[in-house]
Amino acid sequence: MSANQKIIEQRFNAQPKNLKAIRDTLYNSMKTKGFSEECTSDVVLAVDEACQNIIRHAYQFDDSGIIDLGVYLSNNTISVELIDFADPVDPACCVPKAQKELKPGGLGTMFMNKLMDSVEYECPPPKGTGNKLVMKKHNRA
C-alpha cells in the first residue's frame, strides 16, 4: 500500500439511517485493500460507535448535523478521521468507563479504545467549531 493513500472521503447527514451505508462502504473499501477480516470488523465497529456518539451526543439527534469521514492508508495502517460541526466537546468527557462499571450506555468509547490502536481527539476544523476524532489500526494479518 502506498503512503497516505486516501480511500474514502465522504460527507453525510448525522442520521442513524446512514450508518449502514457508512459501515458497508468502509468494510468494502478495507477488504478491497487487503485488510484482514478481524482488522476490518474492528475498524467498522469502532467507526459505527463513534458515529453513533456524534449523532446522539454531539448533535443530540439534530437531523441537520453533518459528519465528514476520511479514511487513509499508510504503511499497512488505516487512519479514520471523523469531523463534526457541533459544539466542541471536552476530550476529558470522552474517557472510557472502567470495566467494573459496565452497564448499558456509555460503552462506545470503551469499544473504540479496545478495538483501535489509537484514538485521539484533535483540534477542531479550521472554522474553530466542531470536533475531530482520529482513530488508527494496523493490519496485523
Q: Are 94 and 133 in contact (CB under 8 A)?
A: no
For the domain that residue 69 is a member of, what is the CATH number? 3.30.565.10
Q: What is the pLDDT of residues 35-88, one digit of tens each?
A: 999 999 999 999 999 999 999 999 999 999 999 999 999 989 999 999 999 988
DSSP string, 78-108: EEEEEEE-SS---GGGGPPPPGGG--SSS-H
Q: How far is CA 140 from CA 77, 81, 119, in A?
A: 9, 21, 18
Mean pLDDT to the nearest integer, 14-40 = 96
pLDDT cut 90: percent of the chain above it:
69
Does 113 have pLDDT greater than 80? yes
- Please give the pLDDT value at position 47: 98
Query: Who's near 86: CB < 8 A, 6+ residues apart?
Result: 54, 58, 59, 65, 129, 130, 131
Helices 19-32 & 37-53, crossing angle to 10 degrees?
Answer: 150
Split into its structural domains, the chain has a count of 1
The contacts of residue 38 (CB under 8 Å, 6+ apart) are 140, 141
Asked whether the predicted pLDDT for residue 1 surpasses 70, the reply is: no
The count of C-alpha atoms lying within 13 angstroms of the C-alpha of 47, restricted to the half-sphere facing its C-beta, is 30
Domain hosting residue 125, numbered range: 5-138
Q: What is the value of pTM for the model shown?
A: 0.87
Which has more pLDDT, 129 or 122? 122
State the pLDDT at residue 13: 96
| Residue of 141 and 116 predicted with greater confidence | 116
Instruction: Give the model's pLDDT for residue 128.
Output: 63
> Tell me: the pLDDT tens digits for 86-102?
988 766 666 665 556 55
